[in-house]
A and B are shown apart, each in its own frame.
Chain A
Amino acid sequence: MTYLKSRRFIASAFTAITMLSITRTITGNGDLTSTVTIAQALVFASPIALAGLAGIWAERAGVINIGLEGMMILGTFGAGWAGWQWGAWAGVLAGIIFGAIGGFLLAVAAVTFGVDQIIAGTALNLLALGTTKFLAILLFTNAPGGGQAQSPPIKGEIPVFTLDSIVVPLTALHEKEIFFVSDLAGLVAGLFYNMSLLTIITLLLFIMTSYLLWKTAFGLRLRSAGENPWAADSLGVKVVQYKYAAVVFSGMLAGLGGAYLSIASTIYRNGNTAGRGYIGLATMIFGDWRPGGTAAGAVMFGYIDTLRLIDTGNQNVKGLILLGSIILFAIGAWMLRSSRRNTAIGFLLLGAVMVGAYFSATSFPPEVAQVAPYITTLLVLATASQNLRPPAADGVPYRKGEDH
């Protein structure tokens, strides 16, 4: 089992690097796989990954968490407020606590009162947005360096590591532009360049989640609350308590994701989350409600975001278009084999259109890259939805003793 899993991981990593490498070679754009790009992609990916992980926790226990965005907003605010006064680590802690409060509110509405979970989550998002805006005006307006919509700078910082002994030679190797080898070097070097302790914590949280939810009795019970709470109840599992624990912990993770954002930009700013809670939700679906796939989805979003933002000569987005078409061709070809003709042809056509666009246009507006992750998620949902295995009782209000 683990052998198969690790083989699959290596195979998909190999495919991904090959595709990147082909794109880099055709476009001649070294930025696509450079050390800096990868390092920055991880910074962008982490908050999204934490939101996705938060989604896994809540939804595995059967509570749809649209409120992720609101919990993240609470986290950004908590980190800005506490970080300004007591330093970055206090900011992280406050972000987690504020997120937990958001989680608790959602749990009260969705679990105890059985409110429609989409509506409860949306309400939480609006509540968090309004409350933080109000508190920002109240607390930050007259603070030195603060304003109506932003906090004063966060004091101190979270340690960041760079391993020169690895980064320097690999970056040099990257610049040689050898097919595959240079790209792999860039990717690996990116992991050891400006690596934040918070990113490492994020990674550890993913590993911890895989272990807790799939290897322990606690995890089995928690997931049973999302699969068939009535069955769980009939076996003496305290469903409500597990749902509460899951949703509050979900809030903590989302809050940490928000804190990450504030600390990365050294202040709290209104609207800093910019919908990352929803993107986190999308990565969770992309990843089939599992940590590994969710992390991969988050990295994809982070990578595309990075290319868009460091795009100097307007060439990165073009590169992305080509990369997208290569991926579409690959999926299309694979689908042709598995006899899903119509979808396969659709993919190949779309890929052809994108190649045409790549060769006919000199540059693309950055907004194209902005929507790319969403289009990718839609494509994944459209093609893989039959193979996705969401928790069976996700979003279903549970009342003890009631029949289903």
Chain B
Amino acid sequence: MSESSVAVELQGIWKRFPGVIANSNINLKVASGTVHAIVGENGAGKSTLMKILYGMQKADEGTISINGAALVFNSPSDAIAAGIGMVHQHFMLADNFTVLENIILGSEPKSGGKLDFVKARKLISEIAAENGLAVNPDVLVSELGVGDRQRIEILKVLYRGANILILDEPTAVLVPHEVEELFNTLRDLKKQGFTVIFISHKLDEVLSIADEITVIRQGTTVGTVNPHLEKVSARDLAEMMVGNELPTPASVGNTIQDQVVLTVENLSVIATGGKAIVDGVSFKIRAGEILGIAGVEGNGQAEILNALMGIESATGKVMFQDEDISKKSTRHRRDLGIGFIPEDRQRQALLLEAPLWENRMLGHQTKAPNAKGFWLNPRGAKADTKRIVAEYDVRTPSIDVNASALSGGNQQKLIVGREMSNDPKLLIAAHPTRGVDVGAQAAIWDHIRNARQAGLAVLLISADLDELIGLSDSIKVLLRGKFVADADPATVTPQELGTAMTGAGRAA
């Protein structure tokens, strides 16, 4: 670090919100031309810090220096002008705009008052080719998956000529081979002299990509390590982060009972164009069994979940215990004891502008403790929300704040807590620990395992293959709407599973 120049230096940064101190005395030095990781638990203040560095929020105290010059950022424009670009955790893309429109927005090439689409297209394809980021500039963003969206976000930043890139939890939504692609891109960028600030709580990833790692705990920097110079393990980092030992999702024993909870026969979901997104899948889940579905996002997972919940219309037969629920309403299915953790928590699982205790009622509004007969029971819901907040370690100033005030990981904890309430018989879970830090991840795994012991059947979809392998009793691989392989979680490795998911080979 001594010989290279400092690209970013933060000194004594403080940021207070009503009821929370997000950052207290943050000090950070990032050498130029390196990948510098910032790790910490959910709500440790990583995202706030990066918003300050990107000019989206102003620090209450402290100084920011870029390449040695002290600067004050009043808006992202100032940060962009200083050569900083940010890839946000929740993508900042307009769904109804094309890729091209999203990239050029704010720095549009013009020829005489008119937008110069030809020049824009050329610029974008040049940058894309230089960095191996393939995109079609003319499709609507709403038609793209997460991997593509992230590439667009990176292109947006490069298009603006940034030389310092901030990536806020970029791998949270990616599958392993996409992560590998992203890391290759980042290594390329580093070679070209870009400085990358990489925020994450996935410690193995951080160790594989970062030149330096700064740990943040409860809003303050607790140390910086250099994995090239000193030997650091993920466990060491985790201890720095939480002071706990690193949990693993290992499944304990076999708890599968005889009783079949869910039987799915020949389930198909047809898209509006007539294409089968889910193409005749069949499976059974017994009480106490966790069935994992592995697959690259967009291969029909979301549609299977929605079909099982009765949100999307589908053909085929769905039996819950002895009842045919194929034609039953979502309400009916939920009342039977089916819990649901959807893929997109902000779109499907939460009312962002409602307090936590109202969110606790969602989907369970007909049952105690949320209802007394016909009437809602806010007092009961509030009390139970407090229980969830305590049991699942949801970091929040109170249960009366809006869900939007929580960080992504804490929102997820609240959802998992809610869905595990009322003793479900079947849990349909997509990415139950997405965006959740190591400590809370272990707690969620424990909750799921305990419920399984008590006879809960689980359908699990996860992009985190370690999680999928660790929790599942059996795994099916989904590709283009069909099951193409079975994998035994006792023997399969994430690499083998990843290969099977792309259709390149067969899992063990």
Contacts and interface: CB of A to CB of B under 8 A. Distances in A.
Interface of A: 215-217, 219-221, 223-224, 227-228, 230-237, 389, 391-392, 401, 403-404
B19 interface: no
Contacts of A237: 105-106
A215 B404 contact: no
Given A217-B108, A220-B101, A234 B114 contact: no
B355 to A, nearest CB: 16
A65 B102 CA distance: 26
Contact of A228 (B76, B94, B115, B352): B94
A392 B96 contact: yes
Interface stretch (B32-40, B85-93, B391-399, B432-440): B85-93
A234 B157 CA distance: 11
Contacts of A401: 51, 56-57
B75 interface: yes
B356 interface: no
Contacts of A227: 94-97
A234 B108 contact: no
B277 to A, nearest CB: 17
A237 B108 CA distance: 11
Interface residues of B, number: 32
Contacts of A391: 96
Interface in B286-315: none
A234 B404 contact: no
Nearest to B81: A236
Contact of A232 (B80, B90, B105): B105
B123 to A, nearest CB: 14
A26 to B, nearest CB: 36
Contact of B105 (A216, A221, A389, A392): A221
Contacts of A235: 76, 80, 92, 105-107, 156, 160
Q: Closest 10 CB pairs between A and B?
A: A236-B77, A235-B106, A227-B94, A231-B92, A217-B108, A228-B94, A234-B92, A236-B106, A237-B106, A234-B76
Given A230-B92, A392-B96, A220 B104 contact: yes
Contacts of A228: 92-95
B113 interface: yes
28 contacts: A216-B115, A217-B110, A220-B101, A220-B108, A221-B105, A224-B94, A224-B105, A227-B94, A228-B94, A231-B94, A231-B102, A232-B105, A232-B106, A234-B56, A235-B92, A235-B105, A235-B106, A235-B156, A236-B76, A236-B77, A236-B80, A237-B105, A389-B96, A401-B57, A403-B90, A403-B404, A404-B90, A404-B352
Contacts of B160: 235
**Highest count of chain A CB atoms <10 Å: which of B90, B92, B96, B108:** B96
A345 to B, nearest CB: 18
A221 B101 CA distance: 10
Interface in B131-156: 156
Interface string B103-130: 0111110100111000000000000000
Nearest to A231: B92
Contact of A220 (B86, B88, B105, B156): B105
Nearest to B346: A404
A221 B92 contact: no
A376 B262 CA distance: 46
A234 B97 contact: no
A235 B93 CA distance: 11
A146 B387 CA distance: 71
Nearest to A389: B96
B115 A217 contact: yes
Nearest to B113: A216
A170 to B, nearest CB: 37
Given A224-B94, A227-B97, A235-B105, 19 more contacts: A217-B110, A219-B115, A224-B97, A227-B94, A227-B96, A228-B95, A231-B92, A231-B94, A231-B102, A233-B75, A233-B76, A234-B86, A235-B92, A236-B75, A237-B106, A392-B96, A401-B56, A401-B57, A403-B404
Contacts of B108: 217, 220
**Highest count of chain B CB atoms <10 Å: which of A219, A220, A231, A232:** A231
A392 B92 CA distance: 13
Nearest to B405: A403
A392 B106 CA distance: 19
B50 to A, nearest CB: 12
Given A215-B114, A217-B108, A220-B105, A392 B156 contact: no
A216 B94 CA distance: 17
Contacts of B104: 220
Contacts of B107: 235-236
**Highest count of chain B CB atoms <10 Å: which of A227, A232, A236:** A236
Contacts of A392: 94-96
A225 to B, nearest CB: 10
A392 B114 CA distance: 25
**Highest count of chain B CB atoms <10 Å: which of A216, A219, A223, A235:** A235
Contacts of B90: 403-404
A223 B76 CA distance: 19
Contacts of A216: 110, 113-115
**Highest count of chain A CB atoms <10 Å: which of B94, B96, B110:** B94
Nearest to A396: B353
A223 B107 CA distance: 15
A237 B160 CA distance: 13
A125 B86 CA distance: 42
